[in-house]
Amino acid sequence: MSIKNVSGNKVFGGWHKQYSHDSSTLNCAMQFAIYLPPQVASGAKVPVLYWLSGLTCTDENFMQKAGAMRMAAELGIAIVAPDTSPRGDDVANDDGYDLGQGAGFYVNATEAPWNKHYHMYDYIVNELPELIEANFPVTDKRAISGHSMGGHGALVIGMHNPERYTSMSAFSPICNPINVPWGQKALTAYLGTNKETWEAYDASELMRKATNFLPVKVDQGGADNFLEEQLTPEALKQAAEASGYPLELNIHEGYDHSYYFISSFIDEHLRFHAEHLAK
């Protein structure tokens, strides 16, 4: 559980810090960022929002571009942003941006060579929270959110583990990966060709069959270049209607897939999570 501080910046009365550690789950060194709001300076323990980023991102994208720390400071919420995959010279990779390092898809890989390192699902659900709760002044109250590939990860992890999270949300998630090119490429590589095994990592399939509901908020840009081919929020909407899942899905006309979109609505997501973290 040893961690090493890499950097630190004071912001809105709290601290943004980066840490590295050796992950036993991923069998490599990993880096994560954490924002600790000013409330911890007076001895308070705060709840945590875990943010999962999208393809090609690291822990830095959300922390530097989303503008989330002002509201997190006001609400008294810590934010943890892990990397999007295992990394290192001996970690399997691919020439494409949508597979390998930077594209872990938050699954537990079963196929070689990926299965040696690519267990991002277990890392996010188990190892990282244990590390955070052992080393920082936080409670065991957790929420989860993410963008694109990370939105897929947040919804899948939240629905598989409703007892571990108070709420989940997503920006522009890959809603039905078993039926879109990004998902089919990654799931074939990481899990093999048996498509039945893919369904455990498909938010629409999980939502369609769900009986234990978690509060969920999804925002999607109407001018997103990936909307129809890769993201397919209509599949998630239909799945929610089939099971009665209380999905809040908002389509925002004119917004794209970028952090301009995320920064426009991140405060609403933080307030949404704060409401449920307080219960």
27-61, pLDDT tens digit by residue?
999 999 999 999 999 999 999 999 999 999 999 99
Identity of the amino acid at 239: A
Give the pLDDT mean for 175-198. Answer: 98
> Residue 123 has what pLDDT?
98
Helices vs. strands in the chain: H and E counts, helices first:
10, 9
Q: What is the pLDDT of residue 90?
A: 97
Buried (b) or exposed (e) across 153-173, using 16+ Cβ within 10 A?
bbbbbbbebeeebbbbbbbbb
* pLDDT for the residue 5: 98
Above 90 in pLDDT, residue 241?
A: yes
- Under a CB-based contact definition with an 8 Å cutoff, are residues 13 and 243 in contact? no
Rounded to two decimals, what is the model's pTM? 0.98
- Identify the DSSP state of 115: G
- Which domains, ranges and CATH numbers included, belong to the chain? 3-278 (3.40.50.1820)
Share of the chain above pLDDT 70, in %: 100
pLDDT digits (tens, 9 = 90+) for 124-141: 999 999 999 999 999 999
Distance from C-alpha of 110 to C-alpha of 191, rounded to nearest angstrom: 5
**Model confidence band, residue 183 (pLDDT cutoffs 50, 70, 90):** very high
User: What integer pLDDT is reported at residue 35 of this predicted model?
Assistant: 99
Q: In the prediction, which pLDDT does 33 show? A: 98
Q: How far is CA 193 from CA 104, 119, 129, in A?
A: 17, 18, 31
pLDDT for 153 equals 98
Place 98 in a pLDDT band, splitting at 50, 70 and 90. Answer: very high
Would you state the pLDDT for residue 274? 98
Q: Where in the sequence numbering do the catalytic residues fall?
A: 148, 224, 257
| Strand, coil or helix: 84 | coil
Task: Give φ, ψ of 256 to 5 degrees.
Answer: -105, -155
Residues linked to residue 21 through DSSP beta bridges, in sequence order:
3, 30
Confidence of residue 96 (pLDDT cuts 50, 70, 90): very high
Summarised one tens digit per residue, pLDDT across range 207-224 is 999 999 999 999 999 999
DSSP letter for each residue of 47-80 = EEEEEE--TT--SHHHHHHS--HHHHHHHT-EEE
Other C-beta atoms lying within 10 Å of the C-beta of residue 64 = 12
pLDDT of amino acid 18: 98
Residue 1 has pLDDT above 80, yes or no: no
Average pLDDT of the chain, as a whole number: 98
Question: H or E segment at 243?
Answer: helix 233-243
Q: How far apart are CA 96 and CA 248, in angstroms?
A: 33
Going from the C-alpha of 18 to that of each of 73, 90, 91, 214, 270, the distances in angstroms are 17, 23, 22, 30, 21
Q: 244-266: per-residue pLDDT in tens? A: 999 999 999 999 999 999 999 99
* pLDDT surpassing 80 at residue 91: yes
Q: Is 112 exposed, middle or buried (0-12, 13-18, 19+ CB in 10 A)?
A: exposed
